[in-house]
A and B are shown apart, each in its own frame.
Chain A
Amino acid sequence: MQMSNITVMKKILMLLFSSISIISLAQPDANTILEKVDKNMSSKNRVFESEMIIHGRRTSRSITSRSYSAGNKQSFTEYLSPAREQGTKMLKLENQLWIYSPSTDRIIQISGHMLRQSVMGSDLSYEDMMDERKMTEIYTAVISGNETLDGRNTWVLVLTARVEDVAYYSQKLWVDTERYIPLKQEMFAKSGQLLKRATLSDVRQIQGRWFPMTVVYKDVLKEGDGTEFRMTSVKFDQPIPDYIFTKAALKQ
């Protein structure tokens, strides 16, 4: 009788181990998922045009821009409309940011606490716009569960910063299990306070990678209906002239 119990127990344990092994084989580990997300979201360089719709407490307004970026160290944005913003340019080199204002013909370097300020009243800060590092460079990931989001299966990753100079100490990422694209993102302070939320949608396959064309950002500490960031065109790995990423280009 005792022998038969032991046999049953052994069978149960074997079944349990095999189930765990099967699940492990089906689900890549968190850092592998994050690497695949990086492969989709990051590129050697990219050129895109976008429309940013800022839903304020009183009014909504739309700003269009053209941006060039190379790796995570260089980017250049020129605002195209409305007239108030037309000709305003932003240049990021390494971790420095300059803004050119055509009305005053001045190039101003943005630093310190101003980097945490909102860009043109949006839910994005200069810091958000500047940080284009790969997720794997700044976070370690752990899978905390699986959820279905708008009919898509997702892994819920909890990311914790492993570097000091990071805008958000931790993040929660809902990653599409099929396309390796985050569909939802929550950004937290070190205290655990939720700071921002992003919803990514309109995922398209562009030049062999999945990419979300629309991101709705919501600064949860700010009232308003968030900021919709829509890419109207995006091209990866394009030749970009070197002069674009110089201060001289700001005044041109």
Chain B
Amino acid sequence: MIRFLFKGIMRDRSRSLLPVIVVALGVFLTVFMSGFLKGVFSDITELNANFSTGHVKIQTRAYAENADQIPNDLAILNVKKLIADLQKDYPEMEWVQRIRTGGLLDVPDSLGETKGQGQAVGTAVDMLSTGSHELERMNIKKSLVKGSLPARQGEALISDDYARRFGVSVGDKVTLFGSTMNGSMMFKTFVVSGTVRFGNSVLDRGAIFMDINDAMLALDMDDAASEVLGFFKSGQYDDIKAEAIEASFNLKYNIKGDEFSPVMSRLVEQEGLGDYLKLAGNASAIMVMIFIIAMSIVLWNTGLLGGLRRYSEFGIRLALGEEKKHIYLTTIYEAVLIGIIGSIIGTILGLGAAYYLQKYGLDVSAIMGNVGMMIPTVYRAEVTRELFYIGFFPGLIATVFGNALAGFAIYKRRTSQLFHELEV
């Protein structure tokens, strides 16, 4: 029976070609777009995690409440002991301390007076210790435009945009002016070892990256940090594990009434990233729904056209005594075969396109001159296990549903009129 129907489909291309193309196209779009959206949302999450939120983040409660003001006077103290305890209690995570600071980045002239200056956001990470993954995590090496990574204390990287704007070259000195943890004036002169560009205005606008030890000295933050970030050693964010770690940490460290006690928050609780992840999860479901509805309507229509074209065929089959139910079922079986063929073709094409975009990415930096959100400049798809079936079943369901609706016309044929209709 299947072989018979398959032969029919293959031999009568006009019966199968259009539905197969429609299904394949729909499945292709579903698979590709799901992979693309999944990839982009994963990259957004990863970028934010690496630069800002970590998989979990620890700050003092007072700091967390005013984090956008970078209030280092409310920073975590005794951070060395805290990190040692965290490493012991949660060995599945890598714990790093970071210092953030804001102020003016001042470029001196030959007399040491201000030649140019702009607002700056300083980020201090462990750049010089052996075994530190911070440079790799923040993709700093690949973002280097000129010069090299800091090799010793007193060297820093500045944003390439800033360097161009103020004519700063590698080897020049710049002074960061701001406030120390205690509120004193902070002046720290750095030698520019290189310039970086991330292609994102949030990161590129007046950014200066320095070693954590330089920041500790300049900001009077010995044994203190703006925040401690935790990253799963596997590299993958696991919300269930993160939630358990968060609950256990906050139970142990977060003291009610002490605004300086450390408090942990998960990635999904910060900067609206939870909504992003939910959106990523829902986007595929929404696309599949739209696909099923739209494709069903298209395939219903195709089925109706096919039904008209095969009007005589069905008439003869009815005249020969074939039951309406049997004819209806054979059209459904045909639809299943067409759905499978179209879905396989669409899935293969979709996976291929997603894999290509996963490997090579789509560089949109040229059209993202002034993006204020922390989003990547190279969009990559992500080929996941679910892509192998996410389009397949909707493709099959849509074909069967469309043909099932169109096939009802078979039941409207009256045997008494058949010979008259067929002009026999």
Interface residues of chain A, those whose CB is within 8 Å of chain B, are 54, 56-59, 61, 84-85, 88, 98-99, 101, 103-114, 117-118, 120-122, 223, 247
The answer to whether B117 touches A111 (Cβ under 8 A) is yes
- When C-beta atoms are compared, the residue in chain A nearest to B218 turns out to be A103
B338 CB, nearest partner CB in chain A, Å: 65
Stretch at the interface among B176-184, B317-325, B327-335: B176-184
Query: In the complex where A109-B113, A113-B119, A114-B104 touch, is A104 in contact with B188 (Cβ < 8 A)?
Result: yes
A80 CB, nearest partner CB in chain B, Å: 14
Residue of A59, A88, A105, A113 near B185 (CB, 8 A) is A88
- List residues of chain A with CB within 8 A of the CB of B257: none
**Complex Cα gap A16–B54 (Å):** 74
The answer to whether A108 touches B177 (Cβ under 8 A) is yes
**Complex Cα gap A56–B113 (Å):** 32
Residue of A104, A114, A118 near B187 (CB, 8 A) is A104
Residue of B73, B117, B189 near A121 (CB, 8 A) is B73
Interface residues of chain B, those whose CB is within 8 Å of chain A, are 62, 73-74, 103-104, 106, 108, 112-114, 117, 119, 175, 177, 179-180, 182-185, 187-189, 220, 259-260
- List residues of chain B with CB within 8 A of the CB of A88: 185
**Complex Cα gap A205–B103 (Å):** 41
- List residues of chain A with CB within 8 A of the CB of B62: 57, 223
**Complex Cα gap A109–B108 (Å):** 10
The answer to whether A105 touches B73 (Cβ under 8 A) is no
Of all A-B residue pairs in the complex, the 10 with the closest CB atoms, nearest first, are A121-B183, A101-B187, A109-B114, A104-B187, A104-B189, A84-B184, A108-B106, A107-B113, A120-B183, A108-B177
Residue of A54, A59, A84, A107 near B114 (CB, 8 A) is A107
A and B contact pairs by CB, cutoff 8 A, 22 listed: A54-B183, A56-B183, A57-B73, A84-B180, A101-B177, A104-B189, A106-B106, A106-B113, A106-B187, A107-B112, A108-B104, A108-B106, A108-B114, A108-B175, A109-B106, A109-B113, A109-B114, A111-B117, A113-B119, A118-B183, A120-B179, A121-B183
- List residues of chain B with CB within 8 A of the CB of A114: 103-104, 119, 177
**Complex Cα gap A207–B106 (Å):** 43
The answer to whether B187 touches A108 (Cβ under 8 A) is yes
- List residues of chain A with CB within 8 A of the CB of B184: 84-85, 120-121
